[in-house]
A and B are shown apart, each in its own frame.
Chain A
Amino acid sequence: MDLIKLLGVLVVIVGFAIKLEPILIIIVAAIVTAIVGNLGVDGLLETLGSTFVANRGMAIFILIMLVTGTLERNGLKNAASALIGKVKRASAGAVIGAYGIMRGIFAAFNVSFGGVAGFVRPIIMPMAVGAIEASGHVPNEDHVETVKGMASGMENISWFFCQVLFVGGGGALLVQSTLAPLGYDVDLLDLAVVEIPIAIFAVLLGITYYFLKDRKLVKKYYGSDAKKED
């Protein structure tokens, strides 16, 4: 068996695992695979060149960036923060859940508000901590630590599973270009549609899980009867 042909796969696995520069890993893996697979220098360069050109659609983000930065300049983040600010008198878990829905919907349109650095830290965390205080508690350090983890988790889950709903997103383009040489022709719209039930399930799961987890923590840290009656 031609186990030697797997050398390039090994390069990728080990390379990423020991955190080498990703582009270096890919080029080395390509060269190693070309050597063990007898592609030759020309074969390597020609395959590299023609596939890259065939996949230029994946760089569509360059065109989208033509508006992304200017949207931010014109106050997109401020608008998003005003929108989420409409969530009043909620628990920390509910704030996270509301953010999960908003992030998921906008992810489906390939719109992000700046991730953890740009949105969770300056807007969601103060809202969540404010929610704990509004219910009459002094925020417990361990509780806030978990809320941070849950907010990041909601951020990731909504983004990962809803971004694939954007028709022509990077993930679907990669799947399309991986399947094509194997003889399967798939449509970008179909690739997005097939993910709709999964995206809805993922967001609902995240919301429910973090809401229940937060409620349990509130009981644990502040006692079940400490919550002020509304």
Chain B
Amino acid sequence: MFSMSTPLLALSFFTDPEVTTSAKFLEIMFLAMGLIAIYNGIKNLLDKTNEARIGTAVFWCALGIVMAFGRWIPPLGNGILIIIMTLPAILKQVKVGKTDAPSPEEEKANYDKIGMKIFIPSLTIGLSAIAFALFTDLGALVGIGFGVIISIVILMIYSRKNTPKVFLDDSARLLSIVGPLSMLPMLLASLGAIYTAAGVGNVIADLVGKIIPAGNVNLGIIVFAIGMVLFTMIMGNAFAAITVMTVGIGHPFVLAYGANPVVIGMVALTAGYCGTLMTPMAANFNIVPVAMLEMKDRWGVIKNQVIPALILLVFQIVYMIILK
């Protein structure tokens, strides 16, 4: 999987003038992200209180290796590592070990000291992403990376207790809490690519083409948006719906006729969010709050979301048709 020349390849990547500065920065960020994941893996491996320490370590370390070094590993090796990563997740062997969560008292004490100034490092990352996207060629993601560094520096200035280890352990804690499901978007994107490689989009397009006439872009937009809502309601996840719907309907019936891919591609996703608002399948958003707020009606959240969701769907369809 790894060759002896990997470090050399890495070196030549960073010195290669053909590679954009943005790509080099991103690669450094991926390296940092991978190392955080590996740190979390090793931390859990050594954590005797974690009842699934091996599985947890395998998951985070495999992820970390692909994140940090994936560029220099052949695609086949990356594919094998990803399968290895998913195994403990599927077997439910990725667990949260010992985490040092801040106590309400600690938060209160820090708030008394820092106060409303805490909003500054909270907003830094988003502002940095916008600034980098607007004023540099480096792109929003590199902006996020710099924003994180600025935010860390501000927090360190605020309090001497914010040492590098605190940041590292806090991120490992959150990473453990979000767990393997945080990999869903990336795995779905990979599944989308496999669908495309297997020609799934063409089959769906043929099927839909029997129902709606090709060439009517407005009708295509309506079917795309409503399809997103229905698929999202069935699957409970707009991210799962967007790949297959874009490949099967958005591309052949709307974008192929010259519609604006920024408008159509993006708004279709938020049209799908209207489906998220209306389905018990999106349990995190619609069912878990029922339990947390001790509501009597299991549908209590959804009932309060259906009307805004439908209005928002119509608004977005009209928006897509006007701006296409």
Contact = CB atoms under 8 A, between A and B. Distances in A.
Interface in A73-111: 73-79, 82-83, 106, 108-111
Interface stretch (B9-17, B48-56, B216-224, B244-252): B244-252
B75 A145 contact: no
A71 B33 contact: no
A106 B266 contact: no
B110 to A, nearest CB: 4
A50 B66 CA distance: 10
Contacts, number: 444
Given A65-B174, A178-B265, A186-B262, A48 B194 contact: yes
B45 interface: no
Given A67-B121, A153-B305, A181 B190 contact: no
Contact of A67 (B148, B191, B244): B148
A131 interface: no
Interface residues of A, number: 121
Interface string A41-64: 011111111111101111111111
Nearest to A146: B304
A5 B200 contact: yes
A71 B118 contact: yes
A134 interface: no
Interface in B225-247: 231, 234-240, 242-244, 246-247
A50 B186 CA distance: 11
Contacts of A58: 185-186, 189
Central interface residue in A16, A67, A82, by most chain B CB within 10 Å: A67
A195 B182 CA distance: 24
Nearest to A14: B234
Contacts of B198: 5, 8, 33-34, 36-39
A51 B193 contact: yes
Contacts of B122: 71, 76, 106, 109, 111
B265 A186 contact: yes
B108 interface: yes
Nearest to A68: B174
Contacts of A66: 36, 148, 152, 167-168, 170-171
Contacts of B190: 26, 30, 47-48, 51-52, 55
A74 B175 CA distance: 18
A197 B33 contact: no
A13 interface: yes
Contacts of B19: none
Nearest to B300: A149
Contacts of A19: 281
Nearest to B312: A202
A45 B143 contact: no
Contacts of A149: 295, 297, 300-301, 303-304
A198 interface: yes
A17 B235 contact: yes
Contacts of A117: 292
B130 interface: yes
B175 A62 contact: yes
B169 to A, nearest CB: 8
Nearest to B106: A73
Nearest to B162: A70
Contacts of A43: 197
Contacts of A34: 194, 198
A25 to B, nearest CB: 9
Contacts of B113: 75
Interface in B161-208: 162, 166-168, 170-171, 173-175, 178, 180-200, 203-204, 206-207
Given A75-B112, A120-B289, 20 more contacts: A8-B191, A30-B190, A30-B191, A30-B194, A43-B197, A46-B75, A46-B79, A55-B189, A64-B125, A66-B168, A67-B152, A72-B170, A149-B304, A156-B301, A166-B126, A168-B144, A181-B196, A184-B255, A205-B315, A206-B308
19 contacts: A5-B200, A8-B191, A23-B89, A47-B193, A51-B192, A52-B66, A53-B70, A53-B73, A68-B171, A75-B107, A146-B304, A157-B305, A161-B273, A166-B129, A179-B261, A184-B261, A186-B262, A189-B140, A198-B270
Query: What 6 A-B pairs are tightest by C-beta distance, nearest first?
Result: A37-B198, A75-B111, A69-B170, A45-B79, A49-B78, A109-B126
